[in-house]
Structure 1
Amino acid sequence: MRTVRLSDAIAEQIEVLISARGLKAGDRLPAERQLALELKVSRSSLREAIQQLASKGRLTSRTGGGNYVQEPPRGWSQNALVDPLSRLFASDPAYRFDVLEIRHALEGAAAYHATLRATDEDKARISDCFETLISLQGSDDSMALAKADAAFHLSIADASHNLVLIEVMKGLFDLLKANISQNLEKLYVIPKVTEPLSSQHRELRDAILAGDGERARRAAHVHIDFVHSSLKSIDEDEARLARSFYQGSVRG
């Protein structure tokens, strides 16, 4: 189990505070004494966390003038939920299966509630996202496909009108894009997989437009299960090929 340093935990608390108070670039953090009291940490630990954020370009300190928020560097994520997950995902691509398990739970719920609460505008957005996704199939632009796929699934989350669910899904958006992009690079190049994916997305859209909650939930689960099993199968095939190549090299 990874041990979280105190300074890392405090840095994440500061990020949450910045986000919760809507602080923008150039805004000043509370004075160190006040901030230490608010976060219930020592001033020495607080200073270490501030220095850590400053080294990443997130904060800037002015002598005698306090600490100020800076524009996040390119690629910086302010989401305290996503950051540790992103690090896990980057360190081991197999974590995409953990992401799929979470998607299975979240998107089944999102699809079900979307059938109950989607407005005409929500349904139109879901349909538009679906058509965009279908139009891009066969494209060599995996990132465009990833964005279109994510946009379709997130349009369903928006239609659920469950604020907690929406915020969790949006917080995971960058991770979701990375997950979908990696999956699509493997899945959409296989003809026998492309058509089922299209059919699954169509069934999910149709169930929501029809207002059938259980059908929509089932469609979401079938889709994620299919992606999961297909990726497992691809990984197993690649592993067999790698073993065969290695054994052939050894014999040679």
Structure 2
Amino acid sequence: MFENIKTERVYEKIVNQIYSLLQKGELRSGERLPPERDLAIKLNCSRSSLREAFRVLESQGLIVSKTGGGRYVQKLDKKNFATETFSTIDLLEKSAIIYFLEAREAFEPRIVELACERATKEDIVEIENALTVMEEKLKKPELEVSADNNFHVVIAEATHNYVFVSMMENNVNMIRQVRRKVMKNPARYKESLKEHTEILEAIKKRDKTLAVEKTKRHLEKLRNSIIIMQENS
């Protein structure tokens, strides 16, 4: 009966306010928004909070930024816009997921490089075990994502650098829910399993170039799968 009370962050409030103005027609398609500094003063907020709100709105195609020309309200389909279900939380999650993937694309290739250099026989066995669990859980969707996440964490552990382990654990936990949805697609899960196998084989060969190549390819496919899922949701 009772629901948790969520404290809105500043940029969430900004997103909601701008969306409300769009719904009411007080902000119109093609209209230029006030300069960032002026708008921050009017809203009594920091410019960093305002920029975060802009990123969320831009990711949803509600506003567009033009180099040297400020930000403008996109041309919107009024009929669809008026009946569209809007959730700030959904927008923030979608925006944040891309940020986490960008970070992952920056540090995971380095992780597999170090794993190629430093992995012991015991580390290799642990990675193989993680892959085996993924294979065994192929028909149990509720366990698949956990197994997939563990594979990446175990590779991070093979670097013997606790900072990388912590970074990987935090990252996979943050996108756990959306990965669960992606991995419910049997075809994508089987494809992901193949990609993981290729990463493992490259690490076993101590082939850093190949391991990085396979990791980047895997992350690219993950990103594309998530974007497609978001567009269809």
Paired position in structure 1 for 2:231: 236
Which residue is equivalent to 2:131? 130
Q: 1:216 aligns with which of 195, 211, 214?
A: 211
Question: 1:121 offset after TM fit, Å?
Answer: 0.4
d(CA) in 2 for partners of 1:199, 1:118 = 21
1:104 matched residue in structure 2: 105
Q: Which residue of 2 aligns with 1:75?
A: none
* Structure 2 partner of 1:92: 92
Aligned to 2:187: 192
- 1:183 paired with 2:179, answer yes
Runs (4+) off by over 3 Å? 88-91
TM-score by length of 2: 0.57
Contact 1:110-1:160 within 8 A present in 2 as well:
yes
Q: Aligned AA for 2:202?
A: A
Q: After superposition, what is the alpha-carbon deviation per residue over 1:152-205, rounded to whole angstroms, capped at 9, x for unaligned?
A: 1011001112343233334x1xx52241332222x2232332221111111111
Contact 1:188 1:194 in 2 (8 A): yes
Matched residue of 2:184: which SS? Answer: coil
User: Counterparts in 2 of 1:2-13, with a 5 A limit?
Assistant: none
Counterparts of residues 1-252 of structure 1 (less than 5 Å) = 92-94=92-94, 95-141=96-142, 144-170=143-169, 172=170, 175-185=171-181, 187-238=182-233
Secondary structure at the residue paired with 1:160? coil
The number of equivalent residue pairs is 148
Whichever residue aligns with residue 176 of structure 2, its letter is I
When residues 195 and 165 of structure 1 are mapped into structure 2, their CA distance, relative to the original with a 3 A threshold, is same
Contact map agreement 1:150 1:176 (CA 8 A) in 2: yes
Q: How far is 1:134 from its partner?
A: 1.7
Amino acid at match of 2:97: R
Which runs of 5 or more residues in structure 2 are unaligned? 1-8, 12-87
* Contiguous gaps of at least 5 residues in structure 1: 4-87, 239-252
